[in-house]
């Protein structure tokens, strides 16, 4: 169980050069059991583990977050019974260490395929942090990049068209 | 973790004669983290234990329910941070065995003081069950007696006036 005020900043990525520095990769599958004016309730499979998290609505870039580990079977039952809003969100999370910090890079799949987002967790709103060359535009304040929004409004519906990587045609 | 379809019937009580047959009594404190059109998410302290439950909206007297034990600290943090709708519901739950069945009798406290509700869990909608003399009017279909409704609309606002027990005046 952990409870804390979470300060995260979120960015698009400008290139895939971060892939050379990945230290860990895990599949994530999550769904929003409830999304209200005040908070959301999320269940998440993260690698072999499972969590339930209550997140208060953001105030600036700060939000209350209370999380607990739960049995994998609990999350699977919530998913199987359809007790959630919108669609489950599927992605792979890559950890990318950089100058003493760790970026979390989420590569989305399914209906949100094409979207790649980098996040960094900070101790305070004023904390300084390094900007690797592959870091793109900041989208912390754009609520469309929240996973709870993506669960109800797929990136495939509102994101820009995806260009094939490297302009390859007919490749694997 | 348990997941099942829950069939419960709910009654008012016509007298306090059930008190002679109580086998167990535990304090319950619970709150609704979220209440949506589709489901509610409840955290509960029950004696020394704590649970999180996702309940689908009732279809007749049947509803989906998925529950998991969680750390007591998780529930306390949700309560302390105010990450719930309405007010917490406080009550004492008495278990009352009767002819091979067990009634759960909830004596509400705080803003819902005066309300006493008896519930019995059944295997199917058609299951027969005994009717002890103290069992009152059935209120299974009256959504006002749901704890999620009581969390937002206190019994003190909509229930009948409470008569003092035994007409005592000035007693302890």
Instruction: Write the residue in A1, A36, A52 that is nearest to B34 by C-beta.
Output: A36
Which ipTM was obtained for this model? 0.81
CA distance B161 to B170: 18
Tokens of A163: 């260009």
pLDDT in tens, B108-158: 999 999 999 999 999 888 899 999 999 999 999 899 999 999 999 999 999
Instruction: Report the length, in residues, of chain B.
Output: 172
Flag whether pLDDT at B162 surpasses 80. no
Walking along chain A (172 residues) 10 residues at a time, the average pLDDT comes out as: 72 97 97 96 97 88 88 97 96 97 97 96 90 96 93 92 53 39
Mapped onto helix, strand or coil, the DSSP state of residue A1 is coil
Please give the pLDDT value at position A124. 84
Q: Locate the chain A residue with the closest alpha carbon to B42.
A: A41
pLDDT reading at B99 higher than 90: yes
Q: Is the predicted pLDDT of residue B55 greater than 80, yes or no? A: yes
Query: What pLDDT does B2 receive?
Result: 55
**Closest alpha carbon within chain B to A42:** B41
Mean pLDDT (chain B) is 90
Domains of chain A: 2-158 (2.40.320.10)
pLDDT (tens digit per residue) in A142-162: 999 999 999 999 999 998 875
* Closest in A54, A70, A73 to B83, CB measured: A54
Judged by average pLDDT, the poorest of A7-16, A138-147, B40-49, B54-63 is: B54-63
Is the pLDDT reported for residue B25 higher than 90? Answer: yes
pLDDT at B37 > cutoff 70? yes
Give the CA angle between residues B9, B44, B148 to the nearest 5°: 50
Residue A43: closest CA among A172, A162, A148:
A148
The predicted pLDDT at position A61 comes to 63
d(CA B73, nearest CA chain A) in Å: 7
Closest-CA distance, B51 to chain A, in angstroms, reads 11
pLDDT of residue A1: 56
Distance from CA of A62 to the nearest CA of B (A): 14
Mean pLDDT of B12-38: 97
Q: pLDDT class for B63, splitting at 50, 70, 90? A: confident
Chain centroid, CA B122 distance in Å: 16
What is the per-residue pLDDT for B70? 98
Q: Which of B23, B8, B25 lies closest to B107, judged by CA?
A: B25
Alpha-carbon span A47 to A73, nearest angstrom: 14
Q: Which of A33, A66, A73 sits opposite B1 (nearest CB)?
A: A73
Helix (H) or strand (E) segment spanning residue B74: helix B72-80
Closest residue, chain A, to B34 (C-alpha): A34
Residue B156 burial (CB < 10 Å; 0-12/13-18/19+)?
Answer: middle
What is d(CA B117, CA B135) in angstroms, rounded to the nearest whole number?
Answer: 9
What Rg do the C-alpha atoms of chain A give, in angstroms?
16
User: Across the interface, which of A3, A68, A81 has its CB nearest the CB of B70?
Assistant: A68
Q: Is residue B32 among the annotated active site residues?
A: yes
CA A115 to chain centroid, in Å, comes to: 10
CA–CA distances in Å: residue A15 to residues A21, A24, A172, B60, B145:
13, 19, 20, 54, 57
CB contact under 8 A, A52 and B70: yes
**Pick among A4, A66, A78, A85 to test the B interface (most B CBs inside 10 A):** A66
Q: Are B87 and B60 in contact (CB under 8 A)?
A: no
Distances in Å between the alpha carbon of B54 and those of A104, A159, B3, B9?
30, 33, 9, 19
> Does residue B89 surpass a pLDDT of 70?
yes
Partners of A33 on chain B (C-beta within 8 Å) are 34, 39, 41, 54
Query: Cβ contact (<8 Å) for B39 and A83?
Result: yes
Q: Return phi, psi of residue A138, to 5°.
A: -75, 135
Residue with tokens 């034990």: B69
Contact call for residues B15 and B134 (beta carbons, < 8 A):
yes
* Angstrom distance (rounded) from CA B160 to CA A102: 60
Segment (H or E) for B78: helix B72-80
Length of chain A: 172
pLDDT of residue B58: 75
Q: Positive or negative CA dihedral for B3, A49, A31, B77?
A: positive
End-to-end CA distance of chain A: 44
Q: What is the least distance, in Å, from the CA of B63 to any CA of chain A?
A: 11
- pLDDT at position A171: 38
Alpha carbon distance A169, B13 (integer Å)? 74
State the maximum Cα–Cα separation within chain A, in Å, rounded to a whole number: 49
pTM (two decimals): 0.84
Determine the average pLDDT of the residues in B98-104: 97
């Amino acid at each position: 169980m952990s409870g804390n005020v979470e300060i995260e900043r979120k960015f698009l990525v400008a290139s895939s050069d971060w892939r050379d520095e990945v230290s860990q990769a895990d599949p994530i599958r999550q769904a929003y059991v409830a999304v209200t004016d005040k908070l959301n309730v999320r269940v998440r499979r993260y690698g072999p583990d499972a969590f339930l998290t209550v997140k208060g609505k953001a105030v600036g870039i700060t939000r209350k977050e209370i999380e607990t580990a739960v049995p994998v079977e609990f999350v699977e039952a919530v998913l199987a019974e359809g007790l959630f809003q919108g669609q489950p969100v599927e992605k792979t999370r890559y950890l990318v260490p950089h100058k003493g910090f760790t970026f979390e890079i989420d590569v989305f799949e399914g209906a949100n395929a094409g979207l790649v987002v980098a996040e960094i967790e900070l101790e305070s709103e004023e904390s300084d942090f390094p900007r690797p060359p592959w870091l793109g535009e900041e989208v912390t304040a754009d609520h469309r990049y929240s996973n709870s929004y993506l669960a109800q409004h797929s990136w495939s519906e509102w994101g820009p068209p995806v260009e094939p990587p490297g302009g390859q045609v007919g490749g694997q």
